[in-house]
Structure 1
Amino acid sequence: MKASAFVYPWDVNGDPEASARVADLGVSQVTLASAYHSTRALTPRHPRHRVVTAEHSAVLYPPDAARWEGRVPRPYQAGDWAPGDAWREAADALARAGLEVSTWVLLAHNSRLGAEHPHTSVVNAYGDRYPWAPCIAQPATRAYLTDLAAEAAVRPGARGTELESLGWYGLAHLHAHDKTGGVALGDAGQYLMSLCFCPDCRSGYGGRGLDADELAAAVRTALEPVWRGTVPSDGGWAGVEKLLGEATANATRAWRDETARTLQETAVAAVRAAAPPDFEVLLHADPVSYHCGANAGVDPAHILSVADGVVVPCTGGAALLSPFAEQDRTGAVLAANLTVVSGMGGSPDTLAADASHAAERGATELRLYHAGLASDADLRGVRSALAGR
């Protein structure tokens, strides 16, 4: 299977050995971030720094001023962690090392946007805003995400793109000094705490026969025993229906599924319109449509009719691949995303076995997270595993 390693531009730029080091792993491709959220990242081999602090969500290239003139939301340009056209500089260096380069585009995940424009954020049934989570039902946000997808995906020299967080973001998010684990919310509680009640979502619920005020009250009532620890909130979708009621739960899901699905269709179409022929468009995806987060919840049959394939989280097991493989769509890319940084829960020593198990579940390619963050020992493990395939 073809393997690609995730890389940030700051892993490469300023390090003359970085591109060859990545190529020596045995991968044929890199997935290079072109639009990314705030982060603090190690660069354990860089000659000039060891820690890079990306202070806010940003594009890692100069955005098109004409495209964004007068618009809100609009992308933020990176600071000194990725100055100028950092993506192009890194991409050119990686290409010279014989590697194909795809863009890695983060979309509905932007804390600075939420801080500066609070109205763009998801707001829960208690009135709490999630500044990291732009509400994808809002027309201006949908237009922003669609244009950002096209611009950040189709960079010079890119052979394809991977679109991350192209769907709903909710409560689950490793925020700064995160302290939200005191109550085990489970799948059902996470869903209820991720329902949005901004004006556009309130209108959307109304279109599904729900009164938004009554729905918010029902969510709060359903969660009260969860906060007290007297009722569990797991059990998948059946757990949501048990807490909220079957008809109400399904009406909220119908609104949210349609909202995410149509955004995914529009964004992928915009990328294709901007891209050269044979440009590959993949989504980071979860096969359960009501799930929120970086791996957007999707309907497998639908998304494989829209995009060229999916990148699926497989660290700890490859079960999430099966619903996509069951679609039996000829030519679809099913990429197993495996963490190879041992300090982040990965296991480079079991990479060969994990890749084999993923292939049994239908994987056609591998994604390795993350070549820039991994230790030397982790990289040796990756190199050994890929050499022995």
Structure 2
Amino acid sequence: MRMTIYAYPWDLARVGVERALKQICADGISAIDLTASYHPIDALSPREGVSIFTNARGAVYFPPRDERYGRIKPHVHSPEISAIWPETARHAHALGLDLNAWTITLFQPWIRDAHPDCARVFPSGNPSGSGVCPANDDVREFLVTMCEDMVDQFGIKLVRLENIMPVFDFDWLRPRTLITVPPFARTLMNLCFCNACITKAVAKGLDPVRLREIVNTAINSDISEGCSNDHRTAALADDAELRAYAELAMRSSTELVTAIAAAIKGKARVSINAAASYAMLIGTAREDELLGEFLSAADQAELIPGHPDNAHVAALAGGLAPPREISAMIPVVRATGLTGPALQARLAAPEARVQAAVDAGATELSLYNFGLLRESDISEFAASIRRDFG
């Protein structure tokens, strides 16, 4: 079983890059998934004495070549931390350790702050406070350029694109929802009505004004009644324009992955995680077709920790020609802590998640996370994987 490990550059800076990579190699791990861009975070590390790292709006963590970029310029966290990237590349190549780029895509509040027009817009007309839209041309240009930039600089083997297909991102940053949002309302709330999405819809002959009106009426009714109404759901699912609008949303993510893959073709592979939420609107068969198109745009599918559709996604990826490799992110949660009881309950058994991933067809396990665990935690867990799965 091939293993990789997620790592933050600020943790490598504290531990020491060469020392950290040598330990990773000693644990039988084949690649490091180093953060290239990241969302807001407050992280506690037990390494080299307890340390807390915070970043309120996300950032880029490698040294970009600004002249390559268009309207959206990379917001770099700091020269000190971004300097870890070339140092890691140098030592990784010397040690025979593959270097992957762990790339957060749409959960980029700093882009939304600098360019509000890039934000996803909910059917209500409210922009997301933290997420940007894959249909936006400036967002696409930035992500394609960023991936090509870091691949050209550092000899990256694989670009790991995280959450490039948004799923009910009411808000990724400290959301407050004290009521149940019925399933069909969740589906409809996932639709984006930013200018980019509206423009693409109009070009296809759709009427986004009408669609937004019927979507909002259904959302309000579902939430007011506390449940999805079968008659109302069926009526909207019969609306050909609304189904086409949902398909455009899924295809926006596929187009972005396709553009990134084309830009780095022959230089690095592309990995994506995948989940979709439009089956209630477009039907399961059609959603599977579109999800298959999305998966086929990449070289590898990564399973989302604890997601109920992982086995289904793996089956879709395995059924493509050629079959896509299956990887699985494995959060190695070892104790209750500051993340709260809900997350702990969901991620309390990493060994069980490894078995589920293997059962789904995974041939690669990506351990999370180097800096958030003690050295012994990683060594022991990696040893158990080698013992049980070779």
Q: TM-score, normalised by structure 2?
A: 0.82
Q: CA deviation at 1:166?
A: 2.5
Q: CA deviation at 1:56?
A: 3.0
Other-structure match for 1:266? 259
Q: CA deviation at 1:168?
A: 3.7
Q: 1:51 to 1:134 in 2, by over 3 A?
A: same
Contact 2:328 2:362 in 1 (8 A): yes
What is the total number of aligned residue pairs between the two structures? 369
Other-structure match for 1:294? none
Cα deviations by residue, 1:87-138 (Å, 9 ceiling, x for unpaired): 2223444555553221111122210111222111111222211032212222
Contact 1:286 1:298 in 2 (8 A): no
Contact 2:272 2:295 in 1 (8 A): no
Other-structure match for 1:221? 217
The one-letter amino acid of 2:2's match is K
Other-structure match for 1:10? 10
SS of residue in 1 equivalent to 2:221: helix
The one-letter amino acid of 1:302's match is E
SS of residue in 2 equivalent to 1:83: helix
Flag the structure with higher helix content.
Answer: 2
Q: CA deviation at 1:257?
A: 2.4
Contact 2:251 2:290 in 1 (8 A): no
After TM superposition, the structure 1 = structure 2 runs for residues 119-198 of structure 1, keeping only pairs within 5 Å, are 119-168=117-166, 170-176=168-174, 178-179=175-176, 181-198=177-194
In structure 1, how many angstroms separate the alpha carbons of the residues matched to 2:374 and 2:184?
A: 37
Q: 1:126 to 1:359 in 2, by over 3 A?
A: same
Match of 2:271 among 261, 271, 282: 282
Task: State yes or no: 1:386 paired with 2:380.
Answer: no
Q: 1:320 to 1:373 in 2, by over 3 A?
A: farther
After TM superposition, the structure 1 = structure 2 runs for residues 1-389 of structure 1, keeping only pairs within 5 Å, are 1-16=1-16, 17-47=19-49, 50-68=51-69, 71-79=70-78, 83-95=81-93, 98-168=96-166, 170-176=168-174, 178-179=175-176, 181-232=177-228, 241-242=233-234, 244-247=236-239, 248-272=241-265, 276=267, 279-286=268-275, 299-315=290-306, 318-327=310-319, 329-330=321-322, 332-342=324-334, 343=336, 344-345=343-344, 350-351=350-351, 353-375=352-374, 378-379=377-378, 381-389=380-388
Contact 1:223 1:243 in 2 (8 A): no
CA RMSD after TM alignment = 3.1
Q: CA deviation at 1:33?
A: 0.9
SS of residue in 1 equivalent to 2:110: helix
Q: CA deviation at 1:369?
A: 1.8
Cα deviations by residue, 1:172-219 (Å, 9 ceiling, x for unpaired): 44314x32x212225432232232222222222334443222222111
Structure 1 stretch 108-117 or stretch 282-291: which is displaced more? 282-291
Q: CA deviation at 1:325?
A: 4.5
Contact 1:300 1:323 in 2 (8 A): no
The one-letter amino acid of 1:251's match is A
Cα deviations by residue, 1:348-388 (Å, 9 ceiling, x for unpaired): 8652x543432232212112222221356643541342231
Q: CA deviation at 1:260?
A: 2.1
Q: CA deviation at 1:21?
A: 3.6
Q: 1:200 to 1:158 in 2, by over 3 A?
A: closer
Contact 1:6 1:31 in 2 (8 A): yes
The one-letter amino acid of 1:338's match is I
Contact 2:59 2:110 in 1 (8 A): no
Cα deviations by residue, 1:232-280 (Å, 9 ceiling, x for unpaired): 38xxxx99944734324312212212322222211211122xx53xx32
The one-letter amino acid of 2:60's match is V
Q: 1:171 to 1:203 in 2, by over 3 A?
A: same
SS of residue in 1 equivalent to 2:226: coil
Q: TM-score, normalised by structure 1?
A: 0.83
Provide structure 1 residue ranges, at least 5 long, that are not aligned to the other structure. Answer: 292-296
In structure 2, how many angstroms separate the alpha carbons of the residues matched to 1:150 and 1:187?
A: 38
In structure 1, how many angstroms separate the alpha carbons of the residues matched to 2:95 and 2:385?
A: 18
In structure 1, how many angstroms separate the alpha carbons of the residues matched to 2:348 and 2:94?
A: 27
SS of residue in 1 equivalent to 2:165: coil
In structure 2, how many angstroms separate the alpha carbons of the residues matched to 1:299 and 1:46?
A: 46
Structure 1 stretch 100-109 or stretch 159-168: which is displaced more? 159-168
In structure 2, how many angstroms separate the alpha carbons of the residues matched to 1:379 and 1:171?
A: 31
Q: 1:100 to 1:66 in 2, by over 3 A?
A: same
The one-letter amino acid of 2:163's match is S
Contact 1:191 1:240 in 2 (8 A): no
SS of residue in 2 equivalent to 1:14: helix
Q: 1:242 to 1:46 in 2, by over 3 A?
A: farther
Contact 1:315 1:338 in 2 (8 A): no
Q: 1:329 to 1:128 in 2, by over 3 A?
A: same
Contact 2:100 2:160 in 1 (8 A): yes
Q: 1:85 to 1:124 in 2, by over 3 A?
A: same
Q: CA deviation at 1:315?
A: 3.1
Other-structure match for 2:340? none
Contact 2:104 2:161 in 1 (8 A): yes
SS of residue in 1 equivalent to 2:185: helix
Q: CA deviation at 1:328?
A: 5.1
